[in-house]
Structure 1
Amino acid sequence: MQYDSTSRIGLHWAAYVELDSAYLWEPSEYAEGITAADILGVEAPLWTETVTNRADIDYLVFPRIAAIAEVAWTTRTGEIGKDLVKEFLFMEKNGRFRG
């Protein structure tokens, strides 16, 4: 999946998936009738049709994998989501997410 219309990596066949979309969702609210007790985990597949090197992999994985882990392992409260997305973006911009 492409992150936005300017991404050179990824394919746009379903939707753009920006960082905030990777974090600001709740698995137990994804479909009617599913509760948190029904969920065993989440996944973050890496589609590599357009990947040609390690830098491409890093671009697609980081910091989104941290956002997915946060979704899977924590309980949301208040406005933490917006602050966390800002922190991920800061870390990404400053090269703190490197494989």
Structure 2
Amino acid sequence: MATPLLHIDQLTVRFGAAEVVRQVSLDIHPGEKLALVGESGSGKTVMAQAVLRLNREVNYQGRIELDGVGDVLSLSERALRGVRGRDAAMIFQEPMTALNPL
């Protein structure tokens, strides 16, 4: 099988003592799509934000490998700025405020 575009291995995300994502692992290969489904507050958005380390006030553990970039969790903030928007991006939950209609 081809190398995954996104490989998440044992991702755990903590806000202080609160563990909001616990040991999530997944692969997304070229041509695949993934839907995260769960109750409100189950960690879907936090997990997606972890791919780009968008939340600076959390503790990330595990490994997130993005194709051609390497382990996102080990990148410097400067290197990460070059990845955001170029290699990966996120459309937030409120598309009317997140997307430019032009």
The answer, yes or no, to whether TM exceeds 0.5 is: no
Q: Which has the higher strand share?
A: 2
TM-score normalized with structure 2 length: 0.29
TM-score normalized with structure 1 length: 0.29
